A and B are shown apart, each in its own frame.
Chain A
Amino acid sequence: MTAPFLPPRQIFWTRRRVKSLLVQVVFLGGLAWLAYFLFANTTANLQRQGIASGFGFLSQRAGFDVSLSFLPFTSDSSYGRAFWVAVVNALVLSALGIVLATILGFGLGLARVSKNWLIARLATVYIEIFRNIPLLLQLFFWYFAILRQLPGPKESVVLADLVFLNNRGLYMPRPQVDQGGWVIMVCFVAGLCMALVMTLRARQQRLKTGHGPKSWYWWPIGLVALPLTAFMITGASLSFVIPELRGFNYRGGMLMLPEMLAALLGLGFYIAAAIGEIVRSGIQGVDKGQVEAASALGLARRDIMRLVVLPQAMRIIIPPLATQYLSLAKNTSLAAAIAFPEIISIVAGTTLTQTGQALEAITLAMLFYMGVSLSIAAVMNFLNYRVLRHGN
């Protein structure tokens, strides 16, 4: 009789699970120690030099003005409010930039794979130019070489006596509703919800039974007809405030600052070039057999793209698209170089210098960019998950 097979005796800490646990504990401990060391050392250094620290300054009066703010802000507002003003400015710029870059980028991507020689070449030229010049340089180009060369307010470029373009910005008429404005807004929102619900219901029915009612007409009803009816019933009158030259500048109307316009054009056109390439690669990444099968079924060219190619291409497009959106949101920081009042300019610039609290200001700025990046990543991950699950 042979001795039964005995596994070699294992020392407790060489077991795989224990070992990996140990490594992780040591690593985390080291990380925690490092964080503690940095924090304690910084606090000690600041204290020794008698430099104020902490976030108490956020409730103090800021004392400076900003050129662009979507929140009420005066020099009597606090540094905390200034931070939120900067956050909103950066978010608005990011959102507008993403819309511009997406529309332009998808157009470019489709143009790149177009059978029309001229359109395809033009798209290639655009992409090669805008993709290969550094963004900062493009911002300078729009701001210094184009918008700054515009004439002063008195010699503005005038379009139909309604729109005025000069080196102080782009002035446009501002719509103004005298009364019942909120009723119209409520009707608009209600119409939007209605159209959305009807479309989704129709879609569900179509997926379930293969037949669904047409639903497109709910959109003009909800978004146009309903608010228009409300407008007529309440007897509100719509007027436009047209900007007029008073004193040194135009007053009234809507103003798009040259800093904002340059930042938007710079960011939008730059990221659009990258999105164009992503869309092209997505379309070309769809198996050729799919297109052939679709045309064998007799689908029109337009429908092949819309129903067969693009839904599959989206699976390839969305992950790198998310990266481009992230990059656009983070690159809004470059707009500080052309005096657009965003985080770097207001928080890591003026607030930092006026309070002298460099660490706190830089920390706030970093938290903002991290928060925005993580949010965009979360939204895009959700979209990606949907596309993988449902196909569109």
Chain B
Amino acid sequence: MMKLLTATTAITLAGTGLALAGTIDDIKARGHIQCGVTQGVPGFSNPNDAGDWTGFDVDICRAVAAAVLSDADAVRYTPLSNTERFTALQSGEVDILSRTTTRTLNRDTALGLNFAPVVFYDGQGFMVRESSGITSALELDGTTVCVSAGSTSELNVADYFTANNMTYEPVRFEKADEVLAAYDAGRCDVYTSDLSGLAARRLVMQNPAEHLMLKETISKEPLAPAVRHGDDAWFDIVTWTVYALIAAEELGVTAANIDQMKAEGSPDVQRLLGSSETGTGEWVGLDNDWATRAIAAGGNYGELWARHLGPDTPLKLARGLNELYNNGGIQYAMPIK
């Protein structure tokens, strides 16, 4: 709430130069990127035992920092609630919002945001207690549902119950861990959120085995990093850093083999890594090694996935739609040329 008020005040008081063109100059001058993240979602953005932020969304910020500042560690993280996130970005408190945020028309236009490419194709699901005997979302009539206030989940669940002629009682908390705690303590029969979020939060429940996810997915939730309207140069850098990570997976460039690929790779690889005559640096306003640094920071898109979300992690998520287009998914980089 405090953050929200300061951010609101910032919009009111800021001089004419408020956070418009010049984000990159600001970042270079201060030497780090301000990255807005969640207040703690395992796998996406969560502080580890040493207090460092880790996760899939965090690594996106690190890749951008590596591209712009040549230092993946030059990122400061601002944990934001659902309510605070957009105001914090609009007011310039953060440069980039990498925070499991669904891209919607309203946010893209009326809220003054620009969304970089989707980094995670998600959908909303339901979690219930196994002992409740519920097996389908259509059996949820008359239940109490815990949901995060100010999320797309809150709107989807209202639409879903209306469309299926069912009633429910919503219990809405602002912080995600309060929603979870309420469900875990039995205040609600159902916990609804993005499927990835359900999987992540299940890890911190008292007894994860007692809960199950229903098979229905009731919405499309394309999660993407966002920046402010009005600074196209910065938007380009964030957009193409994400594409560079995906392209690297398509081309087989990994953090481990990047030096070798840079020397011996195909023309596409050479162009991506800036080792050919036609480097891409000038076009995005950086040097030719920008993509190399972004990929070397944490690996390609597939490596980030495997490290934070995939089958070898506690979340054990299947790639599904997030698999590359030539591997059964819909993830696909625009040509880097």
Q: A residues near B, CB below 8 A?
A: 38, 41-42, 44-46, 48-52, 63-67, 74-76, 148, 152, 167-168, 246-249, 251, 258-259, 336, 339, 341, 344-345, 348-350, 352-356, 358-359, 362
Contacts and interface: CB of A to CB of B under 8 A. Distances in A.
A253 B15 CA distance: 56
Nearest to A151: B186
B172 A339 contact: yes
Nearest to B231: A49
Contacts of B143: 247-249
B contact face: mostly helix, strand, loop, or mixed: mixed
Contacts of A42: 11-12
Interface stretch (B106-114, B250-258, B287-295): B106-114
A169 to B, nearest CB: 9
Q: Which 4 A-B pairs have the closest CB atoms?
A: A353-B150, A356-B111, A75-B158, A51-B112
B111 to A, nearest CB: 4
B174 A64 contact: no
Contacts of B90: 49, 51, 358
A45 B8 contact: no
B207 to A, nearest CB: 15
A352 B11 contact: no
B16 A64 contact: no
B228 A49 contact: yes
A246 B186 CA distance: 17
A67 B8 contact: no
A339 B228 contact: no
B316 interface: no
A38 B13 contact: yes
A48 B18 contact: yes
Interface in B8-60: 8, 11-16, 18-20
Contacts of A349: 83, 149-150, 172, 174
Nearest to B20: A48
A167 B12 contact: no
B86 interface: yes
Interface of B: 1, 4-5, 7-8, 11-16, 18-20, 82-83, 85-87, 90, 106-107, 109-112, 132, 141-144, 149-151, 154-155, 157-159, 161-162, 168-174, 178, 182, 185-187, 189, 228-230
A344 B1 contact: yes
Contact of B83 (A38, A41, A249, A352): A352
Given A42-B11, A350-B149, A362-B5, A49 B172 contact: no
17 contacts: A45-B18, A48-B18, A49-B20, A63-B155, A66-B170, A167-B185, A247-B141, A247-B142, A249-B143, A348-B1, A350-B83, A352-B4, A352-B150, A353-B83, A355-B106, A356-B111, A362-B4
Contacts of B187: 148, 167-168, 258
B171 A52 contact: no
Contacts of A251: 142
Contacts of B5: 362
A38 B228 contact: no
Contact of B172 (A75, A167, A341, A348): A341
A244 B4 CA distance: 43
A167 B186 contact: yes
B174 A358 contact: no
Contacts of B158: 63-65, 75
Contacts of A41: 12-16
A349 B81 CA distance: 10
B13 A49 contact: no
Contacts of A50: 109, 112, 229-230
B111 A51 contact: yes
A265 B189 CA distance: 25
Contact of A358 (B11, B142, B154): B11
Given A339-B173, A353-B150, 17 more contacts: A38-B13, A48-B230, A49-B229, A49-B230, A64-B170, A65-B161, A167-B187, A336-B174, A348-B83, A349-B150, A352-B150, A353-B83, A353-B151, A354-B106, A358-B8, A358-B11, A358-B90
B2 to A, nearest CB: 12
A248 B1 CA distance: 34
Contacts of B83: 348-350, 352-353
A246 B174 CA distance: 30
B199 to A, nearest CB: 23
A302 B185 CA distance: 50
A64 B109 CA distance: 21
Contacts of A152: 186
A355 B16 CA distance: 24
Nearest to B4: A358
B70 to A, nearest CB: 29
A52 B108 CA distance: 11
A63 B7 CA distance: 26
A99 B197 CA distance: 43
A32 B101 CA distance: 40
A362 B112 contact: no
A46 B87 CA distance: 11
Contacts of A63: 155, 158-159
Nearest to A247: B142
A65 B171 CA distance: 9
Contacts of A258: 187
Contacts of B11: 42, 45-46, 358-359
Interface centre among A50, A52, A246, A344, by most B CB within 10 Å? Answer: A50
A353 B185 contact: no
A258 B168 CA distance: 16
A300 B275 CA distance: 103
Contacts of A75: 155, 158-159, 162
A158 B15 CA distance: 62
A67 B171 CA distance: 6
Contacts of B157: 65
Contacts of A362: 4-5, 8
